[in-house]
Amino acid sequence: MADLSTTYLGLRLANPFLVASCSHTKTVEGVKKCADGGAGAVVLKSLFEEQILADMHESEIQTEFLWHPEALDYVQRMGIELGPAEYLRLVRESKKAVSIPVIASLHCLTPKLWIDYVRKIADAGADAIELNISIMPSDPKRTSDDIEKRHLDIVESVTRAVKLPVAVKIGPHFTSIAHMASELEKRGAAALVLFNRFCQFDIDLEKLELKGAYRLSTPLEIALPLRWISLLAGKVKCDLSASTGVHDAAGAVKMLLAGATTVQLCSTLYLAGLGRIGAVRDGVDAWMNERGMKTLADVRGKMSQMRSGSPELYERLQYIKALVGIE
């Protein structure tokens, strides 16, 4: 058997396969099942900033910090699934229930509201924090600079407030992901989670209503994070955690070869059940054994751009027959 142990966010993990933030990790029972299924660590379901707001008195809410004041009203109307107090309980009880690292996840829109709360998360025993930052850039008056600065301010305010390692989960919609990655690292991010997969959107043609769509990813969606992990590996010092499109051991091996420190599983666990965690782990182990690879150091980053003899292939955006074989 290969040695799959690794270090992520400074934490020792038996293997690099994490259950991503999702409803599998929103209860202590769910967290236990993930640990029993063989996960190297879990990322708890996110606590949403709107939930913190909904818990505060109106007078405490500093609307100048809010980009989406309507969100408060929306969340108050729809009812809160998991409030801030219950979330601290989830962190505390999960830590008691499992021996693998428990990473709390916070969905942030603004830099200031979180400071007190992240300290409480640290006191509740979380091993690390994953910041899920997703800002909808729909306002034509808001520049890319504003949005990037907001990401950086959020990360800086949290990394200054707590000693816990902080991972930052972002979406793929930046003009320069490489620049953002290096700026996030400068603000104290110990890992980048690439990428979040946002709620998809569709229109019901019969009812002329909006409807949610494509809740779960497909294996084809691996392409975008795979490319970015292979481009960034070795160029940023922080850990890289792959998220989106990993459905099996082959996908996990690709992410590790690209340079991922850890690989997060989500959609596949809804489609195939939590047994898929062990299947991915065993499949990666078998793949390594067949090639005489003994530890993850033999695999990780072997196919990254930095270690490639043809780095230009990683940056090729156009279809040129001579290079990619199709036109």
Task: Write down the least CB distance from residue 255 to ligand FMN, Å.
Answer: 11
State the pairing for strand pair 102-108/41-48.
Answer: parallel
The end-to-end CA distance of the chain, in Å, is 43
Residue whose C-alpha is closest to residue 241's, from 194, 300, 297? 194
Helix (H, G, I), strand (E, B) or coil at 81: coil
Residue 263 within binding range of ligand FMN, rule CB under 6 A: no
Of the candidate residues 6, 30, 45, 109, the single one contacting ligand FMN (CB under 6 A): 45
Neighbouring C-beta atoms of residue 194, cutoff 10 Å: 27
Q: Does 217 help bind ligand FMN (rule: CB under 6 A)?
A: yes
Q: How far is CA 112 from the centre of its chain?
A: 21
Between residues 25 and 157, which has the closer beta carbon with respect to ligand FMN? 25
Interface residue with ligand FMN among 6, 110, 157, 196 (CB under 6 A) is 196
Q: Is 29 exposed, middle or buried (0-12, 13-18, 19+ CB in 10 A)?
A: exposed
94 binds ligand FMN (CB under 6 A): no
> Using CB under 6 A, which residues numbered 141 to 170 contact ligand FMN?
169
For 128, residues 6+ apart whose C-beta sits below 8 A from its C-beta are 9, 10, 11, 101, 103, 104, 164, 165, 166, 167, 190
Q: Which stretch binds ligand FMN (CB under 6 A): 10-18, 31-39, 241-249, 306-314?
A: 241-249
262 DSSP 8-state letter: E
Q: How many residues lie near ligand FMN (CB under 6 A)?
A: 21
Between 7 and 23, name the residue whose CB sits nearer to ligand FMN: 23
When the beta carbons of 85 and 320 are compared against ligand FMN, the nearer one is 85
For ligand FMN, which stretch binds (CB under 6 A), given 5-13, 183-191, 213-221, 229-237?
Answer: 213-221
Q: What residues make contact with ligand FMN under the rule CB under 6 A?
A: 20-23, 45-46, 105, 132, 169, 196-197, 215-217, 243-246, 265-267
